[in-house]
């Protein structure tokens, strides 16, 4: 027995340091391989970001401070701010984003919590599937679908529209109703995918934490308020940033409604539409670029609030 122990101790003394050195080497090699694969995965995105994001933004910045190739300082910005169409368009976009973000964050988070709380598996899966279906009909096709829904002469919900005093398409898509209409369209097409994402975030919460809350006597509302919502903050912030970016680019919906209603919805309803008119109706690319830079600055400032308040880039 003593001889065996002596042999084991000698083997440990001889091979132990070698094994201890081998483990860090394996970990380092694994990290290098993971880093290499990570670089390969992001290289394609980086190239596309440079080609269709960074370079166009820098070119728009150049155009916004020049006119016919000559540096003009802030003249293009003062000109668009003095345009009688700019502030109404900015107000339309601001009201729409306010409606859109509040309804999206509140309703999506609430529905995700409800679906996650459903213990019957097929009911929960069916609910997620039903929420996700409208997301398959996005862009101009969803606006065309809603155009028929909003026209009382052909809409399957014509009785409901006439019941609230909307007996014609022109009255339905009046300027005062558009923020709500665009919010409903955006929610209908985008909320389903966010509900699925939030459901995944809820699944990532440690089961032991949830079990501890249950043992402590927390009910569903207390668990959601004190545990689930704080642990979903980063995901909610991410949803806010992405939805804000989409909201500032309001263009397709008012453009199609403007054509369908023959001008009832103005062609310059949103800032993106106004930038389009500057570029392709007035041949003023410097003014169009100035509007784009203003939109970019507003989106970056508001996104920063979501990022820092939600601690989006902080590690747990």
Residue 206 DSSP code: -
Share of residues in the chain with pLDDT > 90 (%): 33
Q: What is the model's pLDDT at position 1? A: 44
Span 229-246, average pLDDT: 90
Alpha-carbon torsion (303, 305, 309, 315), positive or negative: positive
Number of H helices, E strands in the chain: 16, 2
Per residue, what are the HEC states of 212-273?
HHHHCCCCHHHHHHHHHHHHCHHHHHHHHHHHHHHHHCCCHHHHHHHHHCCCCCCCCCCHHH
pLDDT tens digits along 116-171? 888 888 888 888 888 888 777 766 777 788 888 888 888 888 888 888 888 888 88
Cβ pair 215, 292 in contact under 8 A: no
Confidence band of 24 (pLDDT split at 50, 70, 90): low
Confidence band of 23 (pLDDT split at 50, 70, 90): low
Q: What is the model's pLDDT at position 175? A: 87
Q: What is the model's pLDDT at position 286? A: 94
Span 198-213, average pLDDT: 89
Whether the predicted pLDDT of 9 surpasses 60 = no
Residue 151 DSSP code: -
Q: What is the pTM of this model?
A: 0.80
Q: What is the model's pLDDT at position 309? A: 82
Q: Is 95 exposed, middle or buried (0-12, 13-18, 19+ CB in 10 A)?
A: middle
Q: How many residues does the chain have?
A: 316
SS3 state of residue 137: coil
Q: What is the model's pLDDT at position 4? A: 46
Angle at 272 between CA 271 and CA 275, to 5 degrees: 85
Cβ pair 245, 299 in contact under 8 A: yes
> CA–CA separation, 235 vs 82, rounded Å?
39
What tokens does 68 get?
């016919």
Q: What is the model's pLDDT at position 2? A: 47
pLDDT tens digits along 168-187? 888 888 888 899 988 988 88
pLDDT tens digits along 29-66? 778 888 888 888 889 899 999 999 999 999 999 999 99
Q: What is the model's pLDDT at position 188? A: 84
Average pLDDT, whole number, for the chain?
85
pLDDT tens digits along 269-302? 999 999 999 999 999 999 999 999 999 999 999 8
Share of residues in the chain with pLDDT > 70 (%): 91
């Amino acid at each position: 027995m003593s001889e065996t122990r002596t042999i084991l101790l000698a083997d440990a003394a001889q091979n132990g340091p070698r094994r201890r050195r081998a483990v860090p080497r394996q970990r380092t090699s694994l990290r290098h391989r993971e880093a290499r694969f990570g670089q390969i995965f992001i290289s394609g995105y980086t190239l596309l970001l440079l080609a269709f994001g960074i370079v166009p933004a820098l070119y728009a910045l150049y155009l916004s401070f020049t006119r016919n190739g000559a540096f003009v300082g802030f003249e293009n910005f003062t000109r668009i701010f003095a345009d009688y169409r700019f502030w109404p368009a900015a107000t339309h976009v601001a009201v729409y984003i306010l409606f859109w973000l509040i309804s999206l964050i509140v309703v999506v988070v609430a529905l995700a919590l409800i679906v996650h709380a459903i213990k019957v598996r097929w009911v929960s899966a069916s609910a997620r599937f039903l929420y996700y279906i409208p997301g398959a009909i996005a862009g101009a096709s969803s606006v065309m679908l809603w155009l028929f829904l909003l026209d009382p002469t052909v809409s399957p919900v014509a009785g409901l529209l006439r019941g609230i005093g909307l007996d014609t398409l022109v009255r339905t898509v009046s300027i005062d109703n558009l923020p709500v209409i665009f919010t409903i369209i955006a929610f209908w097409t985008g909320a389903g995918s966010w509900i699925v994402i939030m459901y995944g975030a809820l699944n990532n919460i440690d089961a032991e934490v949830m079990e501890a809350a249950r043992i402590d006597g927390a009910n569903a509302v207390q668990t959601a308020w004190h545990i689930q919502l704080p642990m979903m903050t980063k995901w909610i912030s991410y949803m806010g940033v992405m939805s804000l970016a989409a909201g500032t680019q309001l263009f397709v919906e008012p453009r199609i409604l403007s054509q369908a209603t023959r001008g009832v919805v103005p062609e310059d309803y949103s800032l993106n539409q106004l930038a389009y008119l500057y570029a392709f109706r007035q041949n003023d690319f410097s003014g169009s670029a100035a509007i784009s830079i203003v939109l970019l600055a507003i989106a970056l400032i508001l996104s920063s609030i979501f990022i820092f308040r939600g601690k989006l880039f902080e590690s747990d």
